[in-house]
Amino acid sequence: MTKIETNITVDAAYEAVAPDDFPAMMEVDRYNKRSTAFDKIISATHDHFWDPMDTKYIDFSAPFDMENEYLVDPELFADLKTAVGDKLDEKQKIKLVNLDTQWSLSSILHGEAGALALSASLCHILKDPGAQEYAANQAREEARHVAGFSRYIQARWGKPVQVGPALGDTLTELVNSPLVWKKIVGMQMLVEGLAMGAFATFYKMGRDPLMVKLMQLVMTDEAFHHKFGKIWADRTIPNINPAERDAIEDWAWHIFQVLLFNLGSPEQKKHIYAAVGLDWEWVQGAFMEAMTDANIREEMQESTNIFRVLIKTLLKAGIITSRTSMNYAAFIDMKELYAEGDRMVGDDIAEEGIKYLLQLNGQGNRAYSLDKMTAAE
C-alpha cells in the first residue's frame, strides 16, 4: 500500500500546520481568511441543542428488565441464526443479545471519545478560523455524546467493557495522526458513517425506549458531522492526483476491515460467549458453517446493513471505485447504491429529532431541511 504522509490540501479551508505549531495560529493574516463553507452548520447548532444531564430531554432513570427482555429485536443478531441459537435457551439468548448490545454501545462510546479527541486535535492543526470553529463545535457535541452513552451504559450495565484491540488501535492512530485527510476519511467518513448506520439500526430495532431516545438525540448532531466529511470529499477527491486517490481508497478499505472485525469477530468479544457457556472458537466455526448456507448468508447480510451508510458515503465521495468495489459487494448490493441519491437513512430520523428539539427549545414548529442547513456556501 502506498503511504501518503502529507495533508493533501487542495482547498484552502483545510490548510493545516503541525500540531505543535501554535505560532502559525498567531500570523496576523490568518484571522481574516475564513472559509464560509461551514457557517451554516455552525449556526445550526442551536437548532439541535440537547443536554444529557437534563431530564427535560432524556431521563436515564427509566427502568428496563435486563434479565427477561431483549434490549434490541433479536432478529438483528445473526449469531442466533447459526448453531449458536440452537445451543441456548430463551434466557441465555436474552443474555447474549443484551451483552452484545453492551459491546456495541461500548464500542460506540469509545468511538465518541475518539471523535471528541479528534475534533479537538483538528483545532490544533487547521488554520482556517471557520474550519476551526466547526471542529470546536463538533468537539462540544461529541462531549455530550460521551456523556449520553456513559449515562446509558451506566444505567443498564454499570460500566462499559474494554475497547477491542482492533478498534482501540485504529482510534488511537486517527487521533494522533497529524494528517488532515486521514482524520477526515477515517473519522468523519468511516467511523461516523458506521455510527450513523448503527444509530439508525438501534433506533429502528431498539426495544428499550430510553435507548431509542438517545439514538435520536445523538443523530440530530451526527448528521451534521457526516456532512462535514462530505464537504471535504467534494472539494478534495476530484482534485487530487490518481496515486493519492488510490492510496486513500486502499487505506479506507483497510479501516473498513478493522471496523468489520471489531463488530463481527467472536475473537474480539470472547467474554460475551463465555458468559453463556460458549467457546469463541466454536462460535467462529458455527459462523463459518452458516456462511455456506445461502439462506442464512442472506439473513446475515441483512444484519450488516449497518455498514450501508459508510459504504454509500465512500462510494458517493469517489473513495470506492471499480478498484475496490468488489470487496464491498460481499456486504451490500453495490448496484443499488450506485443508483441512489445522496440522502442517507439517518437523515430522516435526524430531521424528525431536530423538529422535536426546536419545539422543546421553544423555537416553535417549523419545517426543517437538513440538506439546506448543511449546504456549503
Residues lying near Fe ion in the complex (CB under 5 A): 112, 115, 142, 145, 222, 225
Residue 47 CB partners (closer than 8 Å, separation 6+): 354, 357, 358, 363, 368, 373
Using the minimum distance from each CB to Fe ion, give the nearer residue, 17 or 373.
373
> Distances from the Cα of 214 to the Cαs of 146, 158, 199, 221, in angstroms?
12, 17, 9, 11
Using the minimum distance from each CB to Fe ion, give the nearer residue, 224 or 328.
224
127-138 in b/e form (b: 16+ CB < 10 A) is bbebbbbbbebb
27: left (phi over 0), alpha (psi -120 to 50) or beta: beta
Question: Please, what sign has the CA dihedral across residues 136, 140, 145, 146?
Answer: positive
CB of 228 to Fe ion, least distance (A): 9
In angstroms, the CA 154 to CA 98 distance is 14
CB of 225 to Fe ion, least distance (A): 4
Question: What are phi and psi for residue 206, nearest 5 degrees?
Answer: -65, 140
Using the minimum distance from each CB to Fe ion, give the nearer residue, 97 or 349.
349
In angstroms, the CA 104 to CA 191 distance is 13
Using the minimum distance from each CB to Fe ion, give the nearer residue, 76 or 219.
219
Residue 330 CB partners (closer than 8 Å, separation 6+): none
Cell numbers linked to 337: 447504491
CB of 141 to Fe ion, least distance (A): 7
User: 27 near 137, Cβ under 8 Å?
Assistant: no
Cell numbers linked to 274: 463465555
Using the minimum distance from each CB to Fe ion, give the nearer residue, 94 or 180.
180
Using the minimum distance from each CB to Fe ion, give the nearer residue, 145 or 227.
145
CB of 193 to Fe ion, least distance (A): 10
Cell numbers linked to 36: 464560509
CB of 34 to Fe ion, least distance (A): 23
Using the minimum distance from each CB to Fe ion, give the nearer residue, 221 or 249.
221
Nearest to 85 by CA among 263, 77, 265: 77
CB of 171 to Fe ion, least distance (A): 13
- H/E stretch holding 149 reads helix 129-157
CB of 192 to Fe ion, least distance (A): 5
CB of 147 to Fe ion, least distance (A): 11
Report the alpha-carbon angle 198-204-207, nearest 5. 105
User: 106 near 156, Cβ under 8 Å?
Assistant: no
**Can you tell me which residue has the cell 479501516?**
255
CB of 198 to Fe ion, least distance (A): 11
Using the minimum distance from each CB to Fe ion, give the nearer residue, 215 or 315.
215
**Can you tell me which residue has the cell 447480510?**
301
Using the minimum distance from each CB to Fe ion, give the nearer residue, 115 or 272.
115
